[in-house]
């Protein structure tokens, strides 16, 4: 018996005919839990099986789908090399041979006489038709073939133990029993404006199109809806922020800022000035600022953020600087201390490294306002820390804090101005998804006099040459960095590796040079001492473990050698590379790697091609894909099933435009025609909707 008509497609998959406990468990492993999840598992391709050609008509080199019968199979094990399963198949026109390497499990599925569908590339060798590693589908006795033959057929993404045929059956059941009762999510005029098909039609055609262009249009409609839901959340949050007036306007006289600028050894670039002006305009309003400050490595974001901090402090407010890790917090503390020292501003750090007494003292000084700027991890705003008068939060995002954590600030009942800094540039599509609720300032210009850096990727074999190069550069009076990545997941071991490496280098290739080692487990003073020696030139080569991002500015350093560079993300490499090329001399970055895959190799080669952080970010994200990028954690609960912000950029723009329009006319989506959309958005982004009040 069919289930009752149900229009709510968030029902568990078990409601479907033919889905029992076991099947539901299999589907769950594919992250399919509800009917909605299932219907949005779109085919990875389609196969036109309206007219299946007989074997006799196949041409070598072509991709073909055929329906055949198994004659026999045998396991072939050559003396050297991989074993393979060989099957002879035939239709009424001729015979063909199929081969699958390492696929013994297939043998039992292909008894003589079985009717199967094959899809793959055919070749012709010695008059024989051969399919190498074709996809295979086995028809069951008495099975209704109409879903699988005689039409354009969906082929789904990989499916564990679930065959294509099983998936087709389950999806067809959902299309049959659920979809006819499904209500339209998109408002009438939204559909008209963007020429989108209805939800029911879209789902049918996405799985069983009558022609491929239909499938494309159907997918577009589904992607649009998904992006729209995501953008509605962001638009709603932005709307809320834009209309808030619960912040405090900060309009300093400017005397402290004046002193700050006089203390700097440089003047701000025009690009920095523009970004600063946008920030200052924000802070001068009672609407709390929500701004993203981005720019390439070395573009000077920190000094811009520090100026905003100086303004807030001049207004008698406190400033909190949040970093994603303890080490980065320490590093920011050093930077901000150095900036603010001439102004007699009190800068403190609150991290887990403090003793109990220190912690108590720091909290007290925060509560009564003696501390003007505090640096810490996000524990700063999560623990029971009270501020005397918090006016500005600077978040060093590092792609680690999600939308969610930023949202927690609202919940805390603070209404400070918020400035988010990214460590590196981010692609535009990512900015639209991740930071879509923020205003953006971009510093597009590097301070004058920066030298382009020459980058080379080398294999391990060439390391001696790299050491040789370092020796020559030092001979010319220059200095170098040598960076080791976190390979072992354990700082202890990495440290050992780096320490051992230093001994090896000291005894061998770099014997004539002064070496120094810095690492994350060093006490601050010790590290500062070594850095200072490096700065003075007493150390020629600074060896660093990756945990320490070399937070130094030594214009005389012109070489950076990163060993096992494939362990770093591109953005991180770009960030590291930003430590050289700061002086008058030409700089060189050498990345030694032994990447295991072609993708990994391609990734490293991008570093050779460009110094443009925006491009590097784009490429990095393109290669690594959105999956890694918009994991549940980092996107604040937004898991995209059908859309790919990197590929579907036009749809993303359109959906964003539509979302902002809808929120403008109906900020909380209260209108009856928006009710379903609101439900969808909320369901999709449950994690985020905890703090975003959409209705
Ligand atoms: P980012 O954080 O954007 O990567 P930083 O803020 O660390 O860049 O700045 C990189 C270096 O450039 C720092 O040493 C900083 O003091 C210096 N710097 C910043 N602005 C300027 C400027 N306008 N002219 C010269 N040097 C600058
Ligand atoms: Mg920086």
The pLDDT of residue 355 is 85
From atom 20 of ligand 1, which residue's Cα is the shortest distance away? Answer: 300
**pTM given for the model:** 0.76
The pLDDT of residue 407 is 62
CB-based contacts of 204-211 (< 8 A; 24+ apart in sequence): 204/175, 204/179, 206/42, 206/43, 207/39, 207/42, 207/43, 207/154, 207/171, 207/172, 207/175, 208/151, 208/152, 208/153, 208/154, 208/172, 208/175, 209/46, 209/152, 210/152, 211/152
Cβ of 272 closer than 6 Å to ligand 1, yes or no, is yes
Kindly report which listed range (70-79, 284-293, 651-660, 682-691) carries the lowest average pLDDT score.
682-691
CB 690 within 8 A of CB 265: no
Q: Which atom in ligand 1 lies closest to the alpha carbon of residue 297?
A: 4
Q: Is 499 left (phi over 0), alpha (psi -120 to 50) or beta?
A: alpha
Between 600 and 467, name the one with better pLDDT: 467
Cβ of 485 closer than 6 Å to ligand 1, yes or no, is no
The Cα 447–Cα 452 span in angstroms is 12
Cβ of 555 closer than 6 Å to ligand 1, yes or no, is no
Cβ of 261 closer than 6 Å to ligand 1, yes or no, is no
The pLDDT of residue 555 is 86
Q: Average pLDDT of the chain?
A: 86
Q: Which atom in ligand 1 lies closest to the alpha carbon of residue 264?
A: 16
Q: Which residue is it, tokens 């700063």?
A: 380
For the record, the structure tokens of 59 come out as 């041409």
Cβ of 447 closer than 6 Å to ligand 1, yes or no, is yes
Q: Which residue is it, tokens 């074993």?
A: 83
Q: Which residue is it, tokens 């050289």?
A: 580
Kindly report which listed range (48-57, 92-101, 684-693) carries the lowest average pLDDT score.
684-693
Mutate to test the pocket of ligand 1, among 271, 298, 397, 445 (most ligand atoms within 8 A of CB): 298
Q: What is the mean pLDDT of residues 69-90?
A: 92
Q: Provide the CB-side half-sphere exposure for 113 (13 A, CA).
A: 2
Any idea of the CA torsion for 141, 158, 29, 105, to the nearest 10 degrees?
60
Ligand 2: centre distance to CA 332 (Å): 9
Cβ of 553 closer than 6 Å to ligand 1, yes or no, is yes
Mutate to test the pocket of ligand 1, among 300, 341, 616 (most ligand atoms within 8 A of CB): 300
The pLDDT of residue 266 is 92
For the record, the structure tokens of 295 come out as 């720019």
Q: In the chain, where are the structural domains located?
A: 51-150, 255-285+300-422, 454-610
The Cα 437–Cα 515 span in angstroms is 47
Ligand 2: centre distance to CA 395 (Å): 12
Report which bound ligand comes closest to the CA of 266.
1
Q: What is the torsional sign of CA 158, 163, 169, 174?
A: negative
The Cα 309–Cα 317 span in angstroms is 9
Q: What is the mean pLDDT of residues 573-592?
A: 90
Ligand 2: centre distance to CA 620 (Å): 20
Kindly report which listed range (1-5, 43-47, 403-407, 681-685) carries the lowest average pLDDT score.
1-5
Q: What is the mean pLDDT of residues 110-133?
A: 92
What percentage of the chain exceeds 70 in pLDDT?
Answer: 89
**Residue range 153-164, pLDDT digits in tens:** 999 987 667 888
Cβ of 26 closer than 6 Å to ligand 1, yes or no, is no
Range from 395-404, 405-414, 511-520 that averages highest in pLDDT: 511-520
For the record, the structure tokens of 33 come out as 């839990």
Cβ of 449 closer than 6 Å to ligand 1, yes or no, is no
The pLDDT of residue 402 is 53
The pLDDT of residue 135 is 85
CATH code for residues 454-610: 3.40.50.300
Closest CA to 363 of 377, 346, 350: 350
The pLDDT of residue 635 is 38
- Helix axis angle, 301-314 to 255-263, nearest 10°: 150
Report which bound ligand comes closest to the CA of 445.
1
The pLDDT of residue 632 is 38
The pLDDT of residue 111 is 92
Q: Which atom in ligand 1 lies closest to the alpha carbon of residue 299?
A: 3
Kindly report which listed range (147-161, 461-475, 556-570, 679-693) carries the lowest average pLDDT score.
679-693
Q: What is the DSSP string of 28-49?
A: HHTT--BHHHHHTS--SEEEE-
Give residues with Cβ within 8 angstroms of 550, minimum separation 6. Answer: 481, 483, 518, 542, 544, 576, 579
- Does pLDDT of 405 surpass 80? no
Q: Provide the CB-side half-sphere exposure for 299 (13 A, CA).
A: 28
Cβ of 299 closer than 6 Å to ligand 1, yes or no, is yes
The pLDDT of residue 547 is 55
Helix/strand/coil for 112: coil
Give residues with Cβ within 8 angstroms of 189, minimum separation 6. Answer: none
> In 168-282, at which residue ranges do the beta strands (DSSP E only) sit?
none
Between 612 and 201, name the one with better pLDDT: 201
Between 388 and 430, name the one with better pLDDT: 388
Q: Which atom in ligand 1 lies closest to the alpha carbon of residue 553?
A: 14
Between 402 and 54, name the one with better pLDDT: 54
CATH topology of domain 51-150: OB fold (Dihydrolipoamide Acetyltransferase, E2P) (2.40.50)
From atom 18 of ligand 1, which residue's Cα is the shortest distance away? Answer: 300
Q: Within 10 Å of residue 94's Cβ, how many Cβ atoms?
A: 15
The pLDDT of residue 342 is 94
Cβ of 340 closer than 6 Å to ligand 1, yes or no, is no
**Residue range 296-344, pLDDT digits in tens:** 888 899 999 999 999 999 999 999 999 877 777 888 898 899 999 999 9
Measured CA to CA in angstroms, residue 310 lies from 254, 341, 374 at distances of 9, 11, 13
Q: Within 10 Å of residue 337's Cβ, how many Cβ atoms?
A: 16
Ligand 2: centre distance to CA 298 (Å): 6
CB 273 within 8 A of CB 358: no
**Residue range 612-655, pLDDT digits in tens:** 888 888 887 776 655 444 433 333 344 678 888 778 889 999 99
Q: Which atom in ligand 1 lies closest to the alpha carbon of residue 301?
A: 3
Q: Which residue is it, tokens 């901090």?
A: 309
Same-fold call for 255-285+300-422 versus 454-610: yes
- Does pLDDT of 491 surpass 70? no
CATH code for residues 255-285+300-422: 3.40.50.300
Helix/strand/coil for 349: strand
Report which bound ligand comes closest to the CA of 443.
1
- Find the farthest-apart pair of alpha carbons in the chain and give their distance in angstroms, rounded: 92
From atom 10 of ligand 1, which residue's Cα is the shortest distance away? Answer: 298
Q: Which atom in ligand 1 lies closest to the alpha carbon of residue 272?
A: 23
């Amino acid at each position: 018996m069919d289930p009752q008509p149900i229009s709510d497609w968030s029902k568990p998959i078990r409601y479907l005919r033919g889905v029992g406990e076991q099947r539901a468990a299999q589907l769950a492993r594919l992250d399919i839990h509800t009917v909605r999840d299932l219907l949005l598992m779109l085919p990875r391709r389609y196969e036109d099986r309206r007219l299946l050609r007989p074997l006799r008509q196949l041409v070598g080199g072509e991709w073909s789908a055929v329906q055949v019968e198994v004659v026999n199979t045998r396991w072939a094990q050559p003396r050297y090399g991989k074993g393979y399963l060989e099957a002879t198949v035939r239709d009424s026109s001729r015979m063909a041979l199929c081969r699958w390497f390492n696929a013994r499990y297939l043998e039992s599925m292909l008894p003589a006489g079985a009717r199967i569908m094959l899809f793959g590339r055919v070749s012709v060798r010695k008059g024989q038709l051969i399919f190498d590693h074709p996809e295979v589908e086995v028809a069951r006795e008495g099975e209704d073939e109409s879903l699988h033959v005689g039409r354009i057929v969906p082929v789904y993404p990989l499916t564990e133990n679930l065959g294509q045929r099983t998936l087709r059956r389950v999806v067809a059941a959902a299309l049959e029993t659920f979809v006819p009762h499904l209500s339209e999510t998109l408002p009438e005029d939204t559909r008209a404006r963007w020429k989108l098909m209805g939800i029911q039609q879209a789902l049918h055609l996405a799985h069983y199109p009558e022609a491929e262009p239909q499938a494309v249009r159907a997918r577009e409609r589904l992607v649009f809806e998904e992006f729209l839901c995501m953008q509605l959340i962001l638009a709603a949050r932005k709307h809320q922020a834009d209309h808030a007036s619960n912040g405090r306007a900060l309009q300093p006289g400017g005397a402290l800022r004046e002193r700050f600028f006089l203390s700097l050894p440089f003047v701000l670039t025009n690009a920095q000035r523009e970004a600063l002006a946008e920030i200052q305009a924000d802070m001068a309003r009672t609407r709390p600022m929500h701004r993203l400050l981005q720019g390439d490595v070395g573009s000077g974001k920190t000094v811009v953020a520090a100026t905003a901090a100086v303004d807030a402090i001049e207004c008698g407010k406190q400033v909190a600087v949040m970093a994603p890790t303890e080490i980065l917090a320490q590093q920011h503390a050093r930077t901000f201390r150095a900036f603010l020292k001439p102004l007699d501003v009190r800068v403190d750090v609150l991290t887990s490294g403090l003793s109990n007494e220190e912690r108590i003292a720091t909290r007290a000084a925060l509560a009564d306002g003696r501390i003007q700027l505090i640096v810490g991890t996000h524990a700063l705003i999560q623990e029971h820390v009270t501020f005397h008068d918090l006016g500005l939060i600077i978040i060093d995002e590092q792609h680690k804090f999600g939308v969610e954590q930023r949202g927690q600030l609202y919940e805390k009942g603070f209404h400070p101005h918020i400035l988010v800094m990214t460590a590196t540039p981010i692609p535009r599509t990512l900015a639209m998804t991740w930071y879509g609720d923020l205003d953006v300032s971009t510093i597009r210009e590097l301070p004058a006099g920066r030298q382009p850096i020459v980058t080379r990727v080398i294999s391990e074999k060439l390391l001696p040459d790299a050491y040789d190069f370092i020796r020559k550069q030092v001979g010319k009076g220059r200095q170098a960095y040598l960076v080791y990545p976190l390979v072992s997941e354990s700082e202890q071991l990495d440290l050992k590796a780096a320490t051992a490496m230093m001994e090896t280098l000291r005894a061998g290739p770099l014997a004539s040079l002064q070496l120094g080692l810095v690492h994350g487990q060093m006490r601050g003073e010790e590290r500062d001492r070594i850095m200072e020696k490096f700065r003075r030139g007493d150390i020629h080569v600074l060896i660093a473990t990756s945990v320490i991002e070399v937070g130094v500015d030594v214009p005389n350093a012109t070489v950076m050698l990163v060993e096992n560079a494939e362990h770093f993300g591109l953005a991180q490499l770009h960030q590291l590379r930003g430590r050289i090329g700061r002086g008058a001399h030409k700089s060189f970055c050498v990345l030694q790697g032994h990447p295991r895959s072609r993708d990994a190799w391609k990734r490293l080669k991008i570093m050779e091609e460009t110094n443009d952080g925006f491009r590097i970010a784009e490429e990095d994200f393109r290669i690594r894909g959105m999956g890694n990028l918009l994991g549940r954690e980092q996107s604040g609960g937004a898991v995209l099933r059908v859309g790919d912000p990197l590929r579907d950029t036009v749809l993303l723009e359109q959906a964003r435009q539509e979302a902002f329009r809808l929120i403008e006319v109906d900020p909380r989506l209260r209108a009856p025609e928006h009710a379903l959309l609101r439900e969808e958005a909320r369901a999709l982004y449950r994690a985020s909707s905890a703090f975003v009040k959409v209705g």
